[in-house]
Amino acid sequence: MKVLIVSAHPEQASLTNSLRNAAASQLQADEHEVRITDLYEIGWKCAVDRADFPTLPHGERLRVPAASGEAFSTGSLTEDVSSQQADLLWADALILAFPMWWFSMPAILKGWIDRVYSYGFAYGVGEHSDVRWGDRYGEGRLEGKRAMLIVTAGGWESHYGPRGINGPIDDLLFDPGYQVLPPVVVYQSDRVDDDGFAAAEARLRTTMASLFSVTPIPFRRQNDGDYTIPAMELTAEAVPPEVVGFGAHQSPPKQ
Ligand SMILES: Cc1cc2nc3c(=O)[nH]c(=O)nc-3n(C[C@H](O)[C@H](O)[C@H](O)COP(=O)(O)O)c2cc1C
């Protein structure tokens, strides 16, 4: 199978990049094809701006979704963006590797998503009507592909537990684009010594061995009847009204 790893860390000796390398080497050992996009190494342009839409007439107001859709449908996206989209279409699985910075991803990676997941490619796809609300949340162009996060976090595992002060890690990393696999999170990452690096890498190698067999997180599909359209709220039949939060968007385990 083919795996794209996108990493966002400025230091090759970081825990994040060590885990990325361990993932890549294990996947290659298992005879998967791997491409790595190191966003710092390629000097990824992070911010969306007018330069992303070279065919937008001078003086016309920049409406980003519309300009993005126009550029995508006419093949006039900038080369850096279109080659990343080609890599996403090439890959059977996408892995994003990053340190948690302010409860989220580093800006360079957010900027990769902002620019690469363009209108017509990752959103604004499919029929919008009273029975469907486009193709997203597991449907659409990337349907059937797997995605996984490798995250290092300075905080403790308990800080990110169900009652932890930072909020549950699964809510922070909520990402329902692909068939989403459980993330690999290494906690207390600033205190990891050489043995800890090796242990984290070993854990990751085991995870990689099941990349294409592990069961994805069972997110509900938006067009399969669990949501009202167009409000896109869970129906009371799917989930009792008093149940809220990200966890409600997962199907209950089968009995
Ligand atoms: C700007 C910045 C913001 C950070 N924010 C968080 C955070 O929100 N939660 C957390 O657990 N750790 C946070 N940390 C700690 C990083 O997650 C930690 O330094 C990193 O995972 C260490 O791994 P590395 O060797 O790959 O950099 C932050 C660090 C920096 C530099």
Encode burial over 243-252: b for 16+ CB neighbours within 10 A, e otherwise.
Answer: eeeeeebeee
Q: Which residue has the higher pLDDT, 69 or 231?
A: 69
Give the model confidence (pLDDT) of 122-168 as tens digits.
887 667 777 666 666 666 678 789 999 999 999 999 888 878 888 78
Q: Are 54 and 76 in contact (CB under 8 A)?
A: yes
| Residue 188: per-residue pLDDT | 95
Does the beta carbon of 190 sit less than 6 angstroms from any atom of ligand 1? Answer: yes
| Residue 124: per-residue pLDDT | 72
| Residue 74: per-residue pLDDT | 95
Q: How far apart are CA 53 and CA 129, in angstroms?
A: 29
| Residue 177: per-residue pLDDT | 59
- The predicted model gives 80-106 an average pLDDT of 96
CA of residue 107 to ligand 1 center, whole Å: 13
- The pTM of this model reads 0.90
Q: How far apart are CA 83 and CA 85, in angstroms?
A: 5
Of all helices (H) and strands (E), which one includes residue 65?
helix 64-73
Calculated CA dihedral for residues 197, 207, 99, 178, nearest 10 degrees: 170
Query: Among residues 64, 68, 83, 55, which one has the least CA distance to residue 121?
Result: 68
* 110-to-7, 20, 39, 202 alpha-carbon distances in Å: 11, 18, 11, 28
Give the model confidence (pLDDT) of 185-203 as tens digits.
999 999 999 999 999 999 9
Does the beta carbon of 152 sit less than 6 angstroms from any atom of ligand 1? Answer: yes
pLDDT band with cut points at 50, 70 and 90 for residue 113: very high
Give the model confidence (pLDDT) of 28-39 as tens digits.
999 999 999 999
| Residue 132: per-residue pLDDT | 67
| Residue 19: per-residue pLDDT | 97
Query: Among residues 119, 136, 208, 117, which one has the least CA distance to residue 176?
Result: 136
Does the beta carbon of 102 sit less than 6 angstroms from any atom of ligand 1? Answer: yes
Does the beta carbon of 158 sit less than 6 angstroms from any atom of ligand 1? Answer: no
